[in-house]
Amino acid sequence: MIDEFQDTSRMQWDNFKLLLLEGLSQGSDSLIVGDVKQSIYRWRNGDWGILNGLRDKMDSFPVRVKTLTTNRRSEANIIRFNNSLFTAACNYLCDVYYEQQNEECFSLKDAYCDVKQESPKKEDKGYVKISFLAGDDKDTPPEERKDYVQYTMESLAEEVNDLIEQGVKLNDITILVRKNKTIPQIASFFEENLPYRIVSDEAFRLDASLAICMILDALRYLSNPDNTIAKAQLAASYQNEVLKQGVDLNTLLLSEIDSYLPSEFVSGREALPLMPLYELIEELFRIFEMEKIENQDAYLFSFYDAVVEYLQNNSSDPDSFITFWEERLCSKTIPSGEIEGIRIMSIHKSKGLEFHTVLLPFCDWKLENETNNQLVWCSPTVPPFNELDLVPVNYSSAMAESIYKEDYLNERLQLWVDNLNLLYVAFTRAETNLIVWGKKDLKNTVSELLGRALRSVAVAESIEWDEDSPYEFGTLCPSEVKEQKATTNKLTTPPSSVPVQIESHLHNIEFRQSNRSADFIKGDDTGEGDSKYINQGQLLHTLFSAIETKEDVQPAIERLLFEGVIPDSKTEKEIRKTAEKALSHPMVQEWYSGTYRLFNECAIIYKEKGTLEVRRPDRVMMNDDEVVVVDFKFGKKNKKYNEQVKGYISLLAEMGYKNIIGYLWYVYDGELEKVG
Q: For residues 667 and 653, is the Cβ–Cβ distance under 8 A?
A: no
Q: Which pTM value belongs to this model?
A: 0.62
Closest CA to 300 of 276, 331, 275, 334: 334
What integer is the mean pLDDT of 480-506? 71
Domain shared by 541 and 648, yes or no:
yes
Question: Which of residues 444, 475, 506 is at a domain's end?
Answer: 475
Domain shared by 58 and 120, yes or no:
no
pLDDT for 212 equals: 94
pLDDT for 616 equals: 87
Would you tell me how many other CB atoms lie within 10 Å of the CB of residue 518? 12
Closest CA to 82 of 426, 452, 357: 426
**Does 483 fall in a domain?**
no
pLDDT for 502 equals: 77
Domain shared by 421 and 563, yes or no:
no
What integer is the mean pLDDT of 218-240? 91
What integer is the mean pLDDT of 562-581? 82
Domain shared by 344 and 287, yes or no:
no
Whether the per-residue pLDDT at 14 is higher than 90: the answer is no
Q: Is 273 helix (H, G, I), strand (E, B) or coil?
A: helix
| Interval 136-150: pLDDT, tens | 555 566 655 578 898
> CA distances (Å), 607 to each of 604, 612, 614, 654, in order?
10, 4, 9, 12
d(CA 388, CA 395): 18
Higher pLDDT, 175 or 67: 175
Whether the per-residue pLDDT at 81 is higher than 80: the answer is yes
> CA distances (Å), 378 to each of 369, 374, 391, in order?
16, 13, 5
Domain shared by 457 and 365, yes or no:
yes
**Does 670 fall in a domain?**
yes
| Interval 376-427: pLDDT, tens | 889 888 888 888 888 998 888 888 888 888 888 888 888 888 899 999 999 9
Domain shared by 181 and 232, yes or no:
no
Higher pLDDT, 514 or 108: 108
Confidence band for 529, pLDDT divided at 50, 70 and 90: very low
Domain shared by 164 and 223, yes or no:
no
Number of domains, the chain: 4
Question: Which of residues 415, 441, 475 is at a domain's end?
Answer: 475
Domain shared by 165 and 39, yes or no:
no
Higher pLDDT, 601 or 262: 262
Domain shared by 259 and 404, yes or no:
no
Question: Which of residues 290, 306, 332 is at a domain's end?
Answer: 332
| Interval 637-661: pLDDT, tens | 888 888 889 999 999 998 888 899 9
Average confidence score pLDDT of the chain: 85
Q: For residues 105 and 413, is the Cβ–Cβ distance under 8 A?
A: yes
Domain shared by 92 and 215, yes or no:
no
Q: Is 660 helix (H, G, I), strand (E, B) or coil?
A: strand
Spell out the SS3 assignment of 577-627. HHHHHHCCCHHHHHHCCCCCEEEECCCEEEEECCEEEEECCCEEEECCCCE
pLDDT for 569 equals: 82
Give the range of the structural domain holding residue 542, as residue numbers without chain letter: 520-675
pLDDT for 612 equals: 85
| Interval 271-319: pLDDT, tens | 899 899 999 999 999 999 998 888 788 889 999 999 999 999 998 899 9
CA 505 to chain centre: 28
pLDDT for 524 equals: 42
pLDDT for 525 equals: 45
Whether the per-residue pLDDT at 532 is higher than 60: the answer is no
> CA distances (Å), 413 to each of 37, 96, 114, 137, 549, in order?
14, 11, 19, 35, 84
